[in-house]
Each structure stands twice: as structure tokens, then as C-alpha cells.
Structure 1
Amino acid sequence: MGKVSAFQIQFDGDREVYNSGDVIRGQVRLELQETKQFRGIYMHWKGRAVVTWTEIESRGKSKVTVLYVAGEDYFDHYITIWGKDRSDIDDTKLELPAGQHSLPFQFQLPTRQLPCSFEGTLGYSRYVARAVIDRPWTFDHVTKRAFTVSGIPYDLNKVQNPLAPVYNEDEKTVCCLCCATGPVSVSASTDKRAYLPGETIYISASLDNKSNRSVHSLEAELIQSVNYYARRDGVGSPGYRTTSHVVTSVVTEACGSYGTAHWDRKPMVIPPLPPCNLQGCNFIDIRYYVKFTADVASTPFDVDIMLEIIIGTIPLKGHCYDSLSSDQPGSSGAPPPSYEAAFGIQKEIRDEHDNEYVFGKLVFTPFYTFYRSTSTVQTHRQSAIEKSTTV
């Protein structure tokens, strides 16, 4: 960067999470090795959702790549923090002396409800501040920083039957017809349907193995499934894609041939996650499932059960959260939430306007509502011990 040795955006209090209508305050810190001439320094604030993927289609004897894309802006605003406004047609330059400079700024987020920050495989809902040193007739210096918007609250009180357990069962004959010896039967259930991040899902299950194959393990996985919607070339026929990944899991040994195995309220802690649906975004829909699997030896035909659950941000009124502890002695319900970084999510936030000389925090991890409890650490430790002893 030559004469610019440091260029970064700092938010007051190193705050990571903001709500609709909040005023974001901070400073753009700039260090110059010698006096420089600029037209001005401005900030670009943008909230946007983007979905994109490609598909290969056959056209006669050839194949073509087709782009599916969708996007929407939630805000797109510029503010000048030093010198001339970017819209000023006068290219006269102003001098900024060598040394360290702290240029204060403030920006108010729109008061209307904004979707939660989300970083996915095929799309995102992202909020970014960029500071730009405006230099006419040459490339600009840029620094950028993404931040989390908490999003539209997901109220568990509006969920139908939130305390009802989710139950499913299945069985599968894993041998061919000439040597079938009986099915592998599995049933599984969660203790309820609706949860908060930080809560513990208690999973009960039964395995009745009437086959001559052993069942290596029983495993429950918390699955985040994301539906993406877009249009061909952005304006044509609609399309959709679904991706999923394992957020966390718990696994134990199962049983041998003609045996049984049981889970009685096996705990699995929900880490910091965005709520269901991604309300306010028209192109991304988030769902959560507990996938329970009996891994049958020497065959790809495992027995899988899917249990759909709801993850929200506002606790049930009058409900005592056994897996959460309040700061107030003798109180009931959920304690106040905090915000914690999403585990395992680090996204590059460069875009088509950035070059190799961009400053700032270019890797972003969103923060999500999290109701921390005294039991969370204990449950994590128990799950780690069980995984380490599983064959």
C-alpha cells in the first residue's frame, strides 16, 4: 500500500451485533507514512442477500453452463467522513498529513426489520461497512468490515405444540430375500419440538435388531438444511437448491446380532445458530432436523430417521428451561441471551469490487443468540467422552 501503512474500521466497544434501528458508531483509523493528497474519504454501508449457483444443461451435442441468481438490497448508503463528497465532480485534492488519524463516523441502520446475518454454501445475508480513500484517476484504497445483524426474532410462543415430543420410527431388512433373517427396527424421539440455541436436546431411542448383522453405532446429528431459491439468469424460470451439513452430533456403541440398544434422554447441546426460516429474506429458508442413524455392519443400508425441530430466539413464556440457568436465584424461564460466534463458519467477504490491496477484516464469522447454561459445558464434556470411547 506504499504510503498507507494501516487502514481499518473500528466499532465502539468492539461491538459485533446490531439490531434494526441501532446507530453504529466508531472510527476509521488511518496511518500515513507521509503526507498524502486525496479528494476525500467516504464509507459505504450495504445490507444485501445474494443466492447464486450454476447448472450444466445439454443443448444438442453440446453442454452449457447456466447461472441461477437472486438478490435483494436492504440498504445501500454512502456517508462522507473527511474531505469532499464522492458525488462532487470537483477533482481537487486535499492534503492529509503523515501520522495516525482517527476519523469518527456514525450510521443508523434502517428501522424496518432486517433479516438475520447468514453465511451459507450458495448464498448469504450480509451486512458490510467499507471505507474508501477517494483518489481520482487512480485506484482507491479500501478497507472493509462485516458485522452481524440480529434479525427478526423467532418467537417460540407462536410455534404449534412447541412442547410436544417429535417421534418417528422405521425398520429395514438388510439382507437379500434368500437369506433374510429379520428387520432392524428403530424408533427415536426428542423431548420437545421447539428449542433455543444453548438448550439441550434430549433424545430417546430404541433399537431392536432381529438380523444376523451387528449394528456398529447409534448416532444423532443436528442437521442444518438450507433451501435456496433463484431464477435462471436472474430473470427467467425459477429454480431451487438444497444443501445441508452436520452442526453437531452424539454417537454411542449399539449392539450385536439379535440384540437391542436404548437411549434414555441422550443430551445434545445446540450451538449458536441462526433461527429457522431466515425471516425477511425471500431467497433463503433454513430448517433443522435431528437425524438418527443405526449403522448396520457390512451394508450401506443403514436405518435413518428424520425428526424436524424448531430453533428460535424468543423463549416460551412460563416454561421452566431445565437445561438453562437464570442469573436470578429462584427465577423460572430462560436467562437473558448473549451472542456467540457461530462454530466452524468463516467466510471470505471479498467481492467483485475488491482487489489484492484491500485492507480490513476479510474473513467473517456471524454471531448468534445463545442462552448459556451451567449444564452446557458438562454436556459438551460428556459427549466428547462418549465419542472418544466409541469404536
Structure 2
Amino acid sequence: MPSLRTFRIEFDRPGATYAPGEIVTGDIIVDLAREKTIRALKLSVKGEANVSWERKRSTKDSQGRNHTQIDHFRASEQYFNLTYYLLGNTAGNGEVRVPAGFHRYSFNFSLPYNIPCSFEHTNGHIRYTMKAVIDRPWRFDHESKIAFTVVSSYDLNAHSHQCIGADDEVSESFCCFCCFNLGSMKLRIRIPTTGFVPGQSIETMVNLNNTSSVNVTKICVKLERSLEFHARSPYSMTKTDKAILKAEQRMGPFGEQADIPSRLQIPPIPPSHLEYCSIIDQKYSLRITIHVSGTHCSITKVYPILIGTIPLHSTISSASYIQTIQQPTAPNVMQYDYDPPPPMPTSPDYVPPNTPYPQAIGFASPNQPSTSTNPWDIPPPSYEECMQRADSIKDEDESNYVHGANEPFAPRYPVFNFTTSHPPKK
């Protein structure tokens, strides 16, 4: 019968979602059926970004025979990698007897402030993980792993000049075989703002004035995401990925004059810019396509959209906001002009970490209160899992016996609960 009945990591915060600079607290749970002798109980905390993809290409050898060659493109960035010894020591030359029964070993550490938001995709990720290891003499180690979410603050009010909305007029003339004039169509596309947080809705209005004999068959509105992954090995290469995150369509035909509204609710997605990450770029846009009858080309307009974590003050009113589940919001994140002490686990058997802190990373003060960055003190959002998830959090150099490494993981992003508002006025 195995002596280890339970070995896992628990966070004190439900959902395990944190802001840069916050203090992460929790426990390592160990339940033993009988006494166990170990070298150490250690906890490793890591934040990193990775991109990877494959490309197939055909080559010919010296005899002219065709071969398929696969190029593996990769890049990585490490933001921190810290190790704490909760039992035992860094030298690994001692032994610790852990008695049978249930044990809880507490930890706490401060996240750096200049780290990017969590992100998951098939071709790359920004991921934060913890791994607890029971180091056993002359035996395989026990390992348990878990991921948590870091959400960087992106205040739309600091970028309000990019969120002014759109009021666009489009005119289109139609003809048949370049000879017969079929008339013209005028469109007015209005978007009140182009800055949103998850939970809000992108409301658009298309005013149609159609004096042609060509019908508008449907109007499609799509929220799109554009990603760029930058590899550095075996040489510099960029891979682009575009995806439709949300879509709505209104079917025609419409009359000579019509006002066609649409409403797309923003799902749980990361903010527009993955600041502090140099190998993954992300942008959002709104694509509006007016499809017309016959062989005539559709009319398409694309508008850049900003997704943030703090909504525009101009879009908030007490009547249009519903308070949701109370969860901590992001703390004020600032750079300090002194070097605060490193994060310290609370175990009395703690030994200082054997991994030095990178000089480029700064830590927020452990005494910094978890106050909201929002000066209007709106109710906090809930945190919901993103549509994009990882099938597992297992690293390439890890075995299949790391508990939790083969579990799926989806980051959680703040979602604001707004009441349904009316579409834009005519």
C-alpha cells in the first residue's frame, strides 16, 4: 500500500487569479499513511512564455528524390523561476522524517509587477505554474503541479483617445456588365465606442439608404482576433493566426431605407496588449460585412477594437451595472524606488531560495494593499474561464507521472456584468 495518500497544492483564493504585484498564498497538502523519510519538500514557482509550431516543406536530395522536411520554430521567455525549501535544505545531504497523518505546509510569495497577462493558444502560451516536489533518497520523487492566472491591468481610460468610436459613411454604385447603371447605395456605420471590457457588448448600427436594384442579403458583424507568434530558433520567423471570437448576422432583404442594429457580447478574453511579452502580439478588430445580391462584391469595413480590464468611465452608469460575485480586484501596481525583501514562505522550516532573482524583475511591496485601480469604485468583476485552453500544462522535460500536469487549464479573465442596453439610436 502506498504511503502517500494525498499530495496537492491549494490556493487560498478561489479561482487562483492574481494581479502582478499581489501576494500568492496557499498550502501544500501532504497526507501519509505511515512515516516517510525524505530529503526535502520544495516548491518551484515559474512564469514563462513559449511559442512553437511546425512547418513542412519539400526538398530534393542529390539524386533528385523528393523529401519532406519539418522545421520546428521556437522561442521562449522566462519571467521568474524561484525555488523554496519548506522542509530540508538546498544541499540535499540531510534527511527529514515526516510523521504519518495529514500535513499542511503554508507558502506565500510576491509576484513581480512587470509580467504579462496569462495567455493560452495552440501555438504559444504565457503560463504561470507551481510545482511541489517530495525529494526522496534513492527513489523517484513525488511531484504535483498546478497553474494559476495572472491578469495584468489594462485601463481603457488611459487609452480613451483610441476608443472614440466610429461614424463612417460608405457609398457604392452598381452597374451590370459595366454598362447598365443599377443605382447606388449609401451606408452609415456607427459604433459609439471602440473600447470594451469582457461582459460589455459591442453595439453597432447600420443605416441603409438603398436606391439601387441590388438587395442587401445579410449583414455580418464579427469580433476578430489577430495573433503574431515570433520564433527565434532555428531562425527568426513570424506566424500569424486569425480567428473569429463572436459573430452575429442579420438576414435580409431589407427595405429601401432601414436601420439594422447588432449586439455582440464580449466573451472572457485577455486584454489587447500582452505587455512585457516580446514573442506574442495580440490585436482585436470588428469586421462589418454587407452582403449584396447578384455577382456584386460585398462591402467590408474593419475597425480596431481595444479590450481592457477596466471599463471606460463614460460607458458606466449606476443604472447599467449589476454587482457580481465579490472577488479581489487588481492592486495598485507601481514601481518602488527601493528593493523590497524577497517573498518568504511562512513555514518555520523555510530555507532561502537557491535561485537568484533576475535583476530585471521588480517585486511589489508585500505591504501594498489590494485596492482597486479603478478610481470610480465600481463593483468588481467575476472571473470566468477563457474559451482558449491548454490540453495540459506538462513541460517537455517532465514525465507523465507529475500529478496535475496532464490536466487541462484555462486562464480566468475579469467579466463585468452589464444589463442589456438599448441599441444605438437612429
TM-score, reference length from structure 2: 0.74
Corresponding residue number in structure 2 for 1:88: 91
Corresponding residue number in structure 1 for 2:51: 51
Matches within 5 A, 1:135-284: 135-165=136-166, 167=168, 169=170, 188-206=189-207, 216-233=217-234, 236=235, 238-255=236-253, 261-264=258-261, 266-284=262-280
Could you tell me whether the CA contact under 8 Å between 1:52 and 1:69 is conserved in 2? yes
Corresponding residue number in structure 2 for 1:352: 396
Corresponding residue number in structure 2 for 1:335: 378
2:411 to 338, 342, 366: 366
Corresponding residue number in structure 1 for 2:73: 68
Pick closer, same or farther for the CA change 1:292–1:170 going to 2, 3 Å.
Answer: farther
Pick closer, same or farther for the CA change 1:353–1:291 going to 2, 3 Å.
Answer: same
Output the amino acid matched with 1:263.
I
Corresponding residue number in structure 1 for 2:334: none
Pick closer, same or farther for the CA change 1:162–1:37 going to 2, 3 Å.
Answer: same
Output the amino acid matched with 1:314.
I
CA–CA distance in 2 between the matches of 1:167 and 1:289?
15
Corresponding residue number in structure 1 for 2:131: 130
Output the amino acid matched with 1:365.
A
Pick closer, same or farther for the CA change 1:167–1:342 going to 2, 3 Å.
Answer: farther
Output the amino acid matched with 2:91.
D
Could you tell me whether the CA contact under 8 Å between 1:117 and 1:149 is conserved in 2? yes
Output the amino acid matched with 1:306.
V
Which structure is higher in helix share? Answer: 1
Deviation at 1:26, TM superposition (A): 1.0
Deviation at 1:245, TM superposition (A): 2.1
Deviation readout 1:227-251 (Å, 9 max, x if unpaired) = 2111232xx2x21112122222222
Could you tell me whether the CA contact under 8 Å between 1:147 and 1:366 is conserved in 2? yes
Corresponding residue number in structure 2 for 1:321: 316
Corresponding residue number in structure 2 for 1:386: none
Output the amino acid matched with 2:245.
V
Could you tell me whether the CA contact under 8 Å between 2:15 and 2:383 is conserved in 1? no
Which runs of 5 or more structure 2 residues have no equivalent in the other structure? Answer: 61-65, 324-374
More displaced, 30-39 or 172-181? 172-181
Deviation at 1:302, TM superposition (A): 4.8
CA–CA distance in 2 between the matches of 1:46 and 1:196?
28
Output the amino acid matched with 1:138.
R
Output the amino acid matched with 2:388.
I
Pick closer, same or farther for the CA change 1:45–1:221 going to 2, 3 Å.
Answer: same
Deviation at 1:226, TM superposition (A): 1.4
Q: Which structure ranks higher in relative contact order (CA pairs < 8 Å, sequence separation ≥ 6)?
A: 2
Deviation at 1:177, TM superposition (A): 6.9
Which runs of 5 or more structure 1 residues have no equivalent in the other structure? Answer: 380-391
Deviation at 1:290, TM superposition (A): 1.2
Deviation readout 1:359-384 (Å, 9 max, x if unpaired) = 237322212233322338x99xxxxx
More displaced, 40-49 or 12-21? 12-21
- Runs of 4+ aligned residues of structure 1 deviating over 4 Å after TM superposition are 168-187, 206-216, 258-261, 295-303
Deviation readout 1:294-350 (Å, 9 max, x if unpaired) = 455787965433221111233445x252584276xxxx9682432422342332212
Corresponding residue number in structure 2 for 1:382: none
More displaced, 134-143 or 118-127? 134-143
Output the amino acid matched with 1:243.
D
Could you tell me whether the CA contact under 8 Å between 1:289 and 1:306 is conserved in 2? yes
How many residue pairs match? The answer is 364
CA–CA distance in 1 between the matches of 2:96 and 2:296?
70
CA–CA distance in 2 between the matches of 1:29 and 1:160?
49
Deviation readout 1:57-113 (Å, 9 max, x if unpaired) = 34334332112211111100000122x23x3242x5433233322111122222x32
Deviation readout 1:164-215 (Å, 9 max, x if unpaired) = 3264758697988799967887653322222222222111124567888865
- SS of residue in 2 equivalent to 1:374: coil
Output the amino acid matched with 1:262.
D
Output the amino acid matched with 1:106.
N
Pick closer, same or farther for the CA change 1:262–1:101 going to 2, 3 Å.
Answer: same
CA–CA distance in 2 between the matches of 1:334 and 1:340?
18
Which structure is higher in strand share? Answer: 1
CA–CA distance in 1 between the matches of 2:17 and 2:211?
53
Could you tell me whether the CA contact under 8 Å between 2:17 and 2:150 is conserved in 1? yes
Pick closer, same or farther for the CA change 1:153–1:71 going to 2, 3 Å.
Answer: same
CA–CA distance in 1 between the matches of 2:192 and 2:226?
21
- SS of residue in 2 equivalent to 1:223: strand
Q: Does 1:293 align with 2:289?
A: yes
More displaced, 2-11 or 301-310? 301-310
- SS of residue in 2 equivalent to 1:157: helix
CA–CA distance in 1 between the matches of 2:280 and 2:294?
38
